[in-house]
Amino acid sequence: MKGLQGKVAIVTGGSSGIGQAIAIRLGEEGVNVAVNYVGPAQGAEETKEAIEHGVDLCMKRLSESGTRPVLVRADVSDEDEVAQMFDRVLEEYGRLDYLINNAGIQIAADTRDLPVEHFDKVLAVNLRGAFLCAQQAVRHFLDADRPGAIVNVSSVHQLIPKPRFVGYSVSKGGMQNLTRTLALEFAARGIRVNGIGPGATVTPINRSWIDDPAKRAMVESHIPMRRAGDAEEMAAAAAFLCSDEAAYITGQTLFIDGASPSTPRSRPPGHRSDATADWWPNRSTLGRPH
């Protein structure tokens, strides 16, 4: 894609799934990628091993692309850690061209039973984290007086609420307006801000329905294209939005969902929005990136 060779990107939550695929795709396009990740909660050994494996795989693939990747550990909900991450990247590369806000979590519970601290945690990572990283990226773009691009990895659920995942739905709704607001505020300075809205996506985190033929058939039966997407398809869209080929696109969210009925433009007659809770797969779980 045009204009990507030799540029520098930060991909948050880049250890697995969509974030990992975006990091690898950008590397294949010649981008030097700083892969952000945060460790799992104490005692979550299975998750710890999965994240470490994902980090190793991602860094290996990026190194094979001939680029110069770095690994940056930071909790994106922590202002100081975010600032330190950007300082590290700028020290390593001397510049930043792209930010991919991908880090995100979700916690399932009936809204009436959801502890407030769990709601706060989801918003802290998904929305506050995206804001903190975008703020740092914008500051750099302005100080360097050069254009830049931000891609926020959102979800179809920024439009259609997801029952039992109120924190996730609210955070993604907020990300939609974060994208629009930043795009309007900085368009004249050459800073583009867009989002991608994945639908059901095949990632390691979704093994619970991917590996169950009955569950997978149920999920895919609700998608007009009759299949789930894969992380590489999400990554291709993110790379396009970073590239010069998308130079006149800003403030938009590109939905990548196979015309899923969970989005308003394709909802069939008689569709009930609360049915989403019965079939929509989890793209992430507590403490895990998208």
Q: What is the DSSP letter of 223?
A: S
CA–CA distance, 33 with 80 (Å, rounded to integer): 21
**To which residue do tokens 């990283």 refer?**
133
How many angstroms separate the first and last alpha carbons of the chain? 24
pLDDT single digits (tens) 50-59: 777 889 999 9
**Which domains does the chain carry?**
8-279 (3.40.50.720)
How wide is the angle at C-alpha 184 spanned by C-alphas 183 and 188, nearest 5°? 90
| Long-range contacts of residues 264-269, Cβ cutoff 8 Å, at least 24 apart | 264/159, 264/160, 266/224
Q: Are 40 and 52 in contact (CB under 8 A)?
A: no
**To which residue do tokens 């930071």 refer?**
74
Judging by DSSP bridges, how do beta strands 98-101 and 70-73 pair with one another? unpaired
Task: Kindly state the tokens that stand for 252.
Answer: 């938009």
Just list the catalytic residues.
168
- Residue 277: band (very low, low, confident or very high) from pLDDT cuts 50, 70, 90: very low
**How many other C-beta atoms are found inside a 10 Å radius of the C-beta of residue 173?**
18
pLDDT single digits (tens) 19-54: 999 999 999 999 999 999 986 554 456 566 777 788
